[in-house]
């Protein structure tokens, strides 16, 4: 129970009236619940989008949905993406890039990436709402955060940590393959249950799930490999960046698949 509450408290701004001692074993266990927290975030985002669709034009609803998406996490992962952009796009050596990423201030590259990222995400949500009918686009909104949180567990377990000193990401380095297996089972359950509730057909559920998981794994392998080559491994910022890039890539895949 404490591991679940730790995951909710760390990954979201949902108030948990409980003081939790953030020690490495507890945080490692909490990664098993990352997909569940993703479902919680996704359901709130999807519910907001659905409710506001009754009162606002379609082109405004995605802005509300993405705003809720960011607010629920306190921009935690978005901040990681911007810090990562500042570091990786600086074209400095490894030590300098890691130092830049520690700076809480956003640089020029981070600002540019923030603008393009948020614009793309809003437009992709808009395209998805326009393409899909009925409950389907809201279902996609509900399940996408499941996979992006799962990829963070994958990256923590299978790719090295870059920093020698303690950082936010170092708190999770006790995470092991057992936690990955439980997280993967949690991802499977949390994603397939919503699909089954509104399934058009078994083939549709399987094909959609395989598409999204394939995209999530592809982004994880490519981005984590890049981080290892440029930084020597992953950091707390790159875990957040991976989360955001996975969500954007899945939205791209859903929109492209809807046009094929």
Count of C-beta atoms within a 10 Å radius of residue 52: 17
Find the helix or strand (DSSP H, E) in which 165 lies.
Answer: none
pLDDT at 87: 87
**pLDDT for res 174:** 78
Q: In a 3-state reduction of DSSP, which class is residue 247?
A: helix
Evaluate whether 222 touches 153 at the Cβ level (below 8 Å): no
Domain boundaries, the chain: 2-12+22-259
| Distance set, CA 29 to CA 33, 34, 167 (Å) | 8, 10, 18
pLDDT at 109: 87
The rounded Cα 37 to chain-centroid distance in angstroms is 10
Tokens 């405004």 correspond to 60
Return the CA Rg of the chain. Answer: 18
Which two three-digit tokens encode residue 53? 């669709």
Per-run averaged pLDDT (10 residues), the chain, 260 residues = 85 82 80 95 96 91 96 92 89 84 82 94 95 86 96 94 70 84 94 72 80 96 94 91 97 88
CA within 13 Å, CB half, 232? 10
pTM: 0.94
């Amino acid at each position: 129970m404490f591991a679940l509450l730790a995951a909710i408290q760390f990954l979201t701004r949902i108030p948990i009236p409980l003081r939790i001692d953030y020690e490495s074993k507890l945080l490692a266990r909490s990664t098993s619940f990352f997909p569940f927290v993703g479902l919680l975030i996704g359901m709130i985002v999807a519910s907001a989008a659905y409710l506001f669709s009754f009162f606002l034009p379609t082109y405004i609803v995605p802005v509300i949905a993405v705003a809720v998406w960011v607010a629920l996490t306190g921009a935690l992962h978005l901040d990681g993406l911007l810090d990562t952009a500042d570091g990786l796009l600086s074209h400095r050596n490894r030590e300098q890039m890691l130092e830049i990423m520690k700076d809480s201030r956003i640089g020029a590259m981070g600002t540019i990436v923030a603008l393009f990222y948020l614009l793309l995400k809003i437009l992709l949500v808009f395209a998805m709402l326009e393409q899909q009918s009925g409950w389907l686009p809201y279902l996609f909104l509900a399940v996408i955060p499941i996979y992006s949180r799962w990829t963070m567990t994958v990256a923590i377990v299978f790719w090295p940590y870059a920093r020698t000193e303690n950082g936010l990401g170092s708190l999770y380095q006790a995470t092991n393959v057992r936690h990955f297996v439980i997280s993967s089972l949690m991802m499977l359950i949390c994603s397939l249950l919503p699909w089954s509730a509104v399934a058009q057909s078994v083939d549709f559920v399987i094909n959609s799930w395989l598409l999204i998981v394939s995209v999530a794994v592809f982004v994880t392998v490519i981005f984590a490999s890049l981080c290892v080559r440029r930084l020597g491994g992953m950091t707390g910022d790159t875990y957040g960046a991976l989360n955001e890039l996975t969500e954007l890539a899945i939205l791209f895949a859903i929109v492209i698949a809807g046009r094929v």
